[in-house]
Structure 1
């Protein structure tokens, strides 16, 4: 159920949509729906993930990257089974998953490097080995 303000805004903009853009405007996953706006705003997560590529590996959050990777993969799959298929939602979630998986690999490689360094120096690794 949509609000009166939303319906009024759509009615106001509806008059100005050119006939060539009308199919996009009226599409089930077009700008009149959350299926358009959710992926549009979710690109902010991708931009943040790309910004984090310069973050040192010791400052990466493994739980956060894991959660983002999982949700990216799950929503990518979901976007292809719903009707209508939402390719915009699919693409943004592939990028969310991709940047997060890359960050997880950076964190893992850093932890392995720290373990090797600690063992060569005869110290107990600060990072507990995985069970």
Structure 2
């Protein structure tokens, strides 16, 4: 049985593409891609949910591992791509955090909520007034 497994391993390792797909050089970055996918999806959520300290830590982490991916031999371009995407997403989140917490985004969002609430209330009152006017016209016309 051991000879059979050794033969299969030798066959896999003799083919460069199969050897690469069966290595940690491939599966490490593939399994790590969950982080940038989640980060990109988080860019669509409200900025009040962003953690500034976690975003900063992930920005430094991704920059460090982008460098590491190019420092190892052979260079791991898949790992580099994974952390490049994460770096972009974290920088976007960092900008959104700064915009919301430091550059007046929170106040602007609250102002928009109040304005939309007022417009909604005015629209509701207008609709009720129109209904009352229509009812009054019906009564008068009878």
Q: Is TM > 0.5 for Structure 1 vs Structure 2?
A: yes
The aligned counterpart of 2:89 is: 99
What is the count of residue pairs matched by the alignment? 103
TM-score normalised over the length of structure 2:
0.62
Q: Which residue of the other structure, out of 104, 111, 117, is the alignment partner of 1:113?
A: 104
The aligned counterpart of 1:84 is: 74
Superposed CA offset, 1:21-80 (max 9, x none) = x21123xxx223222111001111111011101111111011111111111110001111
Structure number, greater radius of gyration: 2
The aligned counterpart of 1:25 is: 18
Superposed CA offset, 1:73-114 (max 9, x none) = 100011111100000010001011110111000000112115
Map residues 41-60 of structure 1 onto 2, 5 A cutoff.
41-60=31-50
Moved over 3 A (4+): 10-17, 114-117
TM-score normalised over the length of structure 1:
0.67
Q: Does the residue aligned with 1:54 lie in a helix, a strand or coil?
A: coil
RMSD: 2.6
Higher helix share: 2
